[in-house]
Structure 1
Amino acid sequence: MSYRTTLAEVLTRAVAPCAELTGAEGRFPRGAVTAFGATGLLGLTVATEFGGAGLGLPEAAEVVARTACVCPATATVLQAHYTAVAVIESYGSAWVRGEIAAGRHLSSLALAEDGTGGYGEEAQLLTSRCTAVRSGGVVALRARKRQVVAAGEADSYLWSSRPLGARDGLSLWGVPAHAPDLFVPARPDAVGRSGSATSTVLADPVLVPADAMLGEDGGGLDIVLRTVLPWLLELRAAAGAEGPRLVAADVVRRPVESLAPS
């Protein structure tokens, strides 16, 4: 069965029946996400060797676009998930990739923070105030991440911080949602698509294993530029979201120094 046929069935059976309540009452579309997982659509872009469909950004964009026509909140969740998975596919563990392919793991993005920014929302992903301090095999991450989709609902977050030892750049982490001292306020932020559980996530600090780093220390900026932004902006466009102030090509071309806050 093709992913298109599977998607049509999921949209009819699981997404459409709860879409109105999701939008009107702000309920997270847990049933829809579960159905996407059970049918393999959460693992659409995971390599086949780990049980995924092995597809890419064009197919993910099609899934998001068709889902957005039925339930915009579910499409927003998928945007964040597929973008995070694009990074996990390159740098994450085999176990997490297998869990995503099996439909048991939803991921999201925890990259934006208060007080960071530049030319627009997307430029805020290029810098971080989050501190990272290592003690043995454990790293303490301290930050206030904002506009996190599926906050308190996802199983992990793609998280950015200042480097541990590198002089500049970012470091990226896979932070488990069950990690101690990770806090999501009960009242979501007044931002984001209704039902998408968009909120602030607080770490004061959150402790993660040192091997939770995705990529090299300080190498996260290049990952954000080359992977996160192209995927995120393409998927947002597919969902019909309001056009961003920066397009992916502009972000990649413009020198990083010009995007950093003054």
Structure 2
Amino acid sequence: MAVTSRDNVIEVTKQVINEVVAPLAKEIDQKRRFPKEAFETFASNGLLGLLVPEEFGGLGGTLQDLAEVTELLATSCGSTAMCFQMHSVGTAVIASRANDVHKENYLKQIAQGKKIGTLAFSESGTGSHFYIPEIKANLKDDCYVLNGKKSFVTNGEHADFLIVLTNSVLEKKLDMIIVDTNLPGVDFKGTWEGIGFSGNNSIALEMNDVMVPETNVIGSGGEGMDLIFEVIAPTFIIGVAGANVGLARGAYNAALEHAKNRRYTDGRSLAEIQAIQFYLSDMYGAVESASLFNKSAAQAAVEGKEGAVLNVMQSKIVACDTAQKVTNIAMQVCGGYGYTKNLSVERFLRDARAGSVMGPTTEVLKEWVGKSVAGIPLF
């Protein structure tokens, strides 16, 4: 089934999950491999173009759609959700300032399922403060020359293009530059060794004298910081929050199913034990609350409501805290079985640990929210 419009995005996403994502989730985690089958399906049915405007052949989706899709994907496979999420953020930033070259070479290609993208922001020297990169673009003739290293580049060599954050040739400014991964000097290093999100292929990038056309800069020169707060931050945060809600929901579903089917010798199910019922109630309430909060924050951002920025920032805090809480409760419900790879609970628990340390971290976001409500400048 192909996505024909925003109206059937969720229906098609659920079909892809049932037919492709869920059946392969365990294998992708255990073999630590990129979810290529899911992305082949996304390419063929149009989901890669979720955030591409309709005029360029995309679905014209919004943050609300992204919140729902990432939640649904992560309910079965966190790695697939995060890979799709990073592609979507890369798409969104191009769409926000697309020139004629970007429209032809990227947006239309993404909509046709021909290109996968991602971000290359993190650097080992700056940690979670990705908005203060160390590398700088140097202008030579009609090209930017890029040298330096990036870390945690999700999708890695499976991406066709990168959105690279760099210091601008303009003093005290930042640029975002589209870099094709087939350019000379682009080299991916290492393997992903994280305890969770095993299939997201988040690896290191080295750029050695990479020559990028000047037309590949997103927006006018020096707009990088504006793009971070206007486009990257809300899209990334809402998508990551959706994924973490999905992890929590996946763990809850697995624990509920186990509680209903695990029986004692007297015939009683685990779900008939009062303490387990309390746990199930806690998980259900936490998951539904976090899901509603994230979708409400996404809607507020789309509608430009007052206070939307605070809600967006808080959505990742709520979702990541919920993911850790619920996956831990699910482990208690499932006991020894949950601690093994026979159930998916341990996978959801490992995946859920990443969200709070993924920049902007929970602590950074809490600082920003706290400063904002107190009327203190962020920087």
| TM-score, length-scaled by structure 1 | 0.90
1:225–1:135 CA distance, 2 compared to 1 (3 A): same
Q: Does 1:78 align with 2:84?
A: yes
Q: CA deviation at 1:106?
A: 0.8
Residues 88-237 of structure 1 aligned to structure 2 (within 5 Å): 88-92=94-98, 93-95=102-104, 96-117=106-127, 121=128, 124-164=129-169, 166-188=170-192, 190=194, 193-237=197-241
User: 2:191, 2:202 within 8 Å by CA — same for their partners in 1?
Assistant: no
User: 2:66, 2:238 within 8 Å by CA — same for their partners in 1?
Assistant: no
State the superposition RMSD in angstroms.
2.0
Distance in 2 separating the partners of 1:248 and 1:132: 32
Distance in 1 separating the partners of 2:366 and 2:51: 20
Higher Rg: 2
- Secondary structure, aligned partner of 1:125: coil
- Secondary structure, aligned partner of 1:108: strand
Q: CA deviation at 1:9?
A: 1.2
Q: Which is further off, 14-23 or 237-246? A: 237-246
Per-residue CA deviations over 1:88-145 (Å, capped at 9, x if unaligned) read 101231111001111111110101112115xxx2xx2211111211111121111110
Matched residue type, 2:364: L
User: 2:190, 2:204 within 8 Å by CA — same for their partners in 1?
Assistant: no
What is the aligned residue count? 251
User: 1:125, 1:224 within 8 Å by CA — same for their partners in 2?
Assistant: no
Q: CA deviation at 1:188?
A: 3.2
1:22–1:115 CA distance, 2 compared to 1 (3 A): same
User: 2:191, 2:201 within 8 Å by CA — same for their partners in 1?
Assistant: no
Q: CA deviation at 1:191?
A: 6.9
Matched residue type, 1:44: L
* RCO comparison, higher one (Cα < 8 Å, 6+): 1
The structure that is helix-richer by fraction is: 2
Q: CA deviation at 1:13?
A: 1.5
Per-residue CA deviations over 1:52-87 (Å, capped at 9, x if unaligned) read 111101101100000001111010101111111110
- Secondary structure, aligned partner of 1:208: strand
Distance in 2 separating the partners of 1:55 and 1:187: 32
User: 1:163, 1:171 within 8 Å by CA — same for their partners in 2?
Assistant: yes
Per-residue CA deviations over 1:193-224 (Å, capped at 9, x if unaligned) read 20100011111232111111111222101101
> Could you list the runs of 5+ residues in structure 1 that have no partner in the other structure?
none
User: 2:52, 2:95 within 8 Å by CA — same for their partners in 1?
Assistant: yes
User: 2:43, 2:112 within 8 Å by CA — same for their partners in 1?
Assistant: yes
User: 2:192, 2:198 within 8 Å by CA — same for their partners in 1?
Assistant: no
Matched residue type, 2:153: V
User: 1:129, 1:162 within 8 Å by CA — same for their partners in 2?
Assistant: yes
Distance in 1 separating the partners of 2:214 and 2:31: 40
Matched residue type, 2:116: L
Distance in 2 separating the partners of 1:214 and 1:249: 29
Distance in 2 separating the partners of 1:248 and 1:140: 37
Distance in 2 separating the partners of 1:127 and 1:77: 24
Residue identity (%): 27
The structure that is strand-richer by fraction is: 1
> Could you list the runs of 5+ residues in structure 2 that have no partner in the other structure?
245-319, 321-354, 357-361
Q: CA deviation at 1:255?
A: 4.4
- Secondary structure, aligned partner of 1:28: coil
